[in-house]
Structure 1
Amino acid sequence: MKAARRPEVRLPALEAYGGGGLEPDGDYDGLDIRDEDFTGADGAGARFMDCALTGCALDEADLPHARILDSVLTAPRGVGTNLAESTLRDVEVRDARLGGTQLHGAVLERVVFRGGKIDYLNLRKAKLRDVVFEGCVLAEPDFGGALLERVEFVDCTLKAVDLTAAVLKDVDLRGAASLEIARGVDRLSGAVISTAQLLDLAPVLAGELGIRVED
């Protein structure tokens, strides 16, 4: 089992963001962006490099194909944020409060999600490499068709996970505080779980294998 490589984000001296909203294909470099309301903003293809985004509202923000690099997102909040087919590399996401975030087809490399709660996270057909979910709640995350390599779940609550057609390699689930798999339990090959988790998953595994359990 290979451990995930965590990002080492070292932000330079940042320049205060001057406002003005997001723009398609916008270039945001070395900015301190605080408490901005990006509700409904169109930032398709935007690039964030060496940025700190703190307390920003992202409801229905449209950011497909965005690139978020060497950045820290603290307390982002919003429903329906569209980050489809985006790239997150060397990123820390802290205390997120998000719902229905679209990251399908995205590429996540050396990313840590620490704290917070994310409902209905869509990671279908995404590629996750060296990603850590730590101390957070993931309710009904969808990893359908995704590739997970060196991914760790530490002190997380995982509710109704969908692993349909996912491919797992060096995925460590032992640290999950709670593990509930709704679909795709057959895709756990390539993951490691604890004995206690195996016992909890036994009814689901028996059902998947067509085993009748009777006393």
Structure 2
Amino acid sequence: MTRDEVLAAIAANKTLDGLSLAGLDLSGADLTGGRFWGVDLSGADLSGANILKTGFRDCRLAGVRLAGTDLTKLDLREVDLTGADLRGATIFMTNFSGANLTEAKLSGTALRWSVMQRAKLTRADCREATVEKLLLQDADLTGADFSKASISRMVVLKADLTSTDFTGASFFKSVLRQCDLREKSLRGQRWHTVLADECDLRDADFSGADITMSNFLKARADRANFTGAVAQHALFKETSLQKAVFAGADCRQAFFGQADLTGADFTGASLGAASFAGALCRGTRFGGADLGYADFSQANLTFANFAGARLYMAKLHGVLTDNTYWEDARDTRLRGHDKDLEEAETWTPPA
């Protein structure tokens, strides 16, 4: 079928059903209102074509060229877009649910307010893409490349991201819930206000990263490297941080309540007004750290090292301090055990 025949069929309001249009040049064509049912468009050139309000049900678009094409509000559910060229396409409120985007070319493309749940993005090239409000629930991101991408309000749930490349990418107000990011290098990146609860972050590298106001609730981050990171107001409640390194990090007003900080290193860190309430700090190093107004209520500080730490107005109510090292610690106006608070905590109503 030729280009002219396709356009004539669309003009006549005919459904194009079960045809092979592989390799056909439809670039710049007006395909508005066209209905392509079960059509093979592999390798076809649709770059710059008008395909708004065009239907592609059960079509094969592997290797199709959609560069510069407006895909606003287009329904591409379950469509095979393997190796498709989408560079420069307008992707806004586009539905790619269940689509196959393996090795798709999306570098430099803006992906806004779109859905890719259950989509397959294996080895997809999303370098330097602009991502805003993109839903990737249950998507396969194996080997996908998001290096230097600008990512905001992206949602990824329960994904294996160990082979996904985020080198130089920035994250803002995004959700990476229950994802596997083991050994991932996020060094120096902007990870601002990211929800990473229950993620596996063991051996991940956040050194020099900005993780301000990010949420790591119940995450596993043993041996993770946060050296020099900015973690102001970050939440590490019930997080496993065994042997994690926060040396020189800015963790002012961060929350480490009930976290496992066994063997962690906070040497020289800024921890003003940080909370370690109920945390396990066995063998944790706080040497030279600024702990002004920090709260260690009910924390286990067994074998912890506070050598040279600044503890101005720090709260040590109900702490366990067996073999804790305090040499040269500055404890001006240190707030120790509070008997009145203990009485309130242990009070039981009369029978």
1:97 partner letter:
D
Matched residues in 1 for 2:26 and 2:82: separation?
Answer: 18
1:194 corresponds, among 156, 181, 186, to: 181
Tell whether 2:66 aligns with 1:63: no
The secondary structure found in structure 2 opposite 1:34 is coil
The secondary structure found in structure 2 opposite 1:63 is coil
Deviations 1:70-117 (A, max 9, x none): 121122124201111000122111222331112210112211112253
Tell whether 2:141 aligns with 1:157: no
Aligned to 1:9: none
CA contact (8 A) 1:186 1:208 kept: no
The secondary structure found in structure 2 opposite 1:48 is strand
Aligned to 1:207: 210
The secondary structure found in structure 1 opposite 2:118 is strand
Tell whether 2:168 aligns with 1:184: no
Matched residues in 1 for 2:88 and 2:135: separation?
Answer: 20
Aligned to 1:19: 3
Tell whether 2:98 aligns with 1:98: no
Matched residues in 2 for 1:114 and 1:18: separation?
Answer: 28
Moved more, 137-146 or 79-88: 137-146
Matched residues in 2 for 1:188 and 1:70: separation?
Answer: 31
Identity over aligned pairs, percent: 20
Matched residues in 2 for 1:95 and 1:58: separation?
Answer: 14
Aligned to 1:6: none
| Alpha-carbon shift at residue 181 of structure 1 (Å) | 5.8
1:51 partner letter:
V
When normalised by structure 1's length, the TM-score is 0.77
2:119 corresponds, among 116, 126, 131, to: 131
Matched residues in 2 for 1:45 and 1:98: separation?
Answer: 21
CA contact (8 A) 2:157 2:175 kept: no
2:153 partner letter:
A
Matched residues in 1 for 2:53 and 2:159: separation?
Answer: 26
Matched residues in 2 for 1:202 and 1:193: separation?
Answer: 17
CA RMSD of aligned residues (A): 2.6
When normalised by structure 2's length, the TM-score is 0.50
Matched residues in 2 for 1:191 and 1:66: separation?
Answer: 37
Matched residues in 2 for 1:19 and 1:66: separation?
Answer: 16
CA contact (8 A) 1:44 1:65 kept: yes
CA contact (8 A) 1:63 1:84 kept: no
Deviations 1:113-148 (A, max 9, x none): 122533233321112221011123222233302222
Tell whether 2:95 aligns with 1:110: no
1:182 partner letter:
A
2:24 corresponds, among 31, 36, 45, to: 36
CA contact (8 A) 2:146 2:169 kept: no
Matched residues in 1 for 2:100 and 2:66: separation?
Answer: 19
Matched residues in 2 for 1:174 and 1:49: separation?
Answer: 37
CA contact (8 A) 1:80 1:102 kept: yes
The secondary structure found in structure 2 opposite 1:189 is strand
Matched residues in 1 for 2:25 and 2:178: separation?
Answer: 39
Aligned to 1:80: 68
Equivalent residue pairs, number: 196
CA contact (8 A) 2:3 2:26 kept: no
1:58 partner letter:
L
CA contact (8 A) 2:125 2:144 kept: yes
2:157 partner letter:
K
Measured at CA, do residues 91 and 78 of structure 1 come closer, stay the same or move farther in structure 2, by a change above 3 Å? closer
| Alpha-carbon shift at residue 213 of structure 1 (Å) | 4.5
The secondary structure found in structure 2 opposite 1:95 is coil
Higher fraction of strand: 1
The secondary structure found in structure 1 opposite 2:188 is helix
| Alpha-carbon shift at residue 44 of structure 1 (Å) | 2.7
Matched residues in 1 for 2:141 and 2:113: separation?
Answer: 19
